[in-house]
């Protein structure tokens, strides 16, 4: 088992990672009857894309002896209705490493082939931008 999700009432859940015991709360967004006081379930999906991209980039960067510590990603999720769903995810990555064009290409391809990227429905538009430091 990967996780256990408990419904707390008032459109809120507690998600527990079984192996570590770490917990996170989700809350329905304000535009869908919730309080918007935590990540919504769809926020976690969109954020998971960026987290997965950065994780696989980190694995590949270590192989290339590149340090990506301090890299950040800004995530914007767009919703559609009828049926309510994620229609678009924008991920803007800020990468502090100064690397060659060859290594940029390798790392960007790695990010765009992460497991979450492949797991998202093809109808979800994914707009990914990479901003590499230039020194």
pLDDT value for 97: 81
For residue 33, the 8-state DSSP code is: T
Output the pLDDT for position 89.
Answer: 98
Coil vs helix vs strand at 102? helix
The confidence score (pLDDT) of residue 135 equals: 59
Predicted pLDDT at 51? 98
**CA end-to-end span of the chain:** 46
The answer to whether 33 and 40 have CB atoms below 8 angstroms apart is: no
The model's pTM = 0.94
Parts of the chain with a pLDDT under 70: 135
């Amino acid at each position: 088992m990967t996780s256990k999700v408990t419904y707390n009432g008032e459109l809120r859940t507690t998600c527990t990672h079984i192996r570590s015991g770490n917990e996170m709360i989700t809350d329905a967004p304000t535009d869908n009857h919730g309080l918007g006081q935590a990540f919504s379930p769809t926020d976690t999906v969109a954020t998971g894309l960026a987290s997965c991209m950065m994780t696989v980039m980190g694995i590949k960067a270590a192989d290339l002896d590149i340090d990506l510590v301090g890299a950040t990603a800004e995530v914007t999720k767009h919703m559609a209705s009828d049926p309510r769903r994620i229609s678009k995810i924008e991920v803007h990555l800020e990468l502090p490493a100064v690397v060659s064009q060859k290594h940029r290409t390798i790392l960007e391809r790695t990010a765009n082939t992460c497991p979450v990227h492949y797991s998202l429905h093809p109808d979800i538009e994914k707009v990914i931008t990479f901003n590499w430091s230039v020194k």
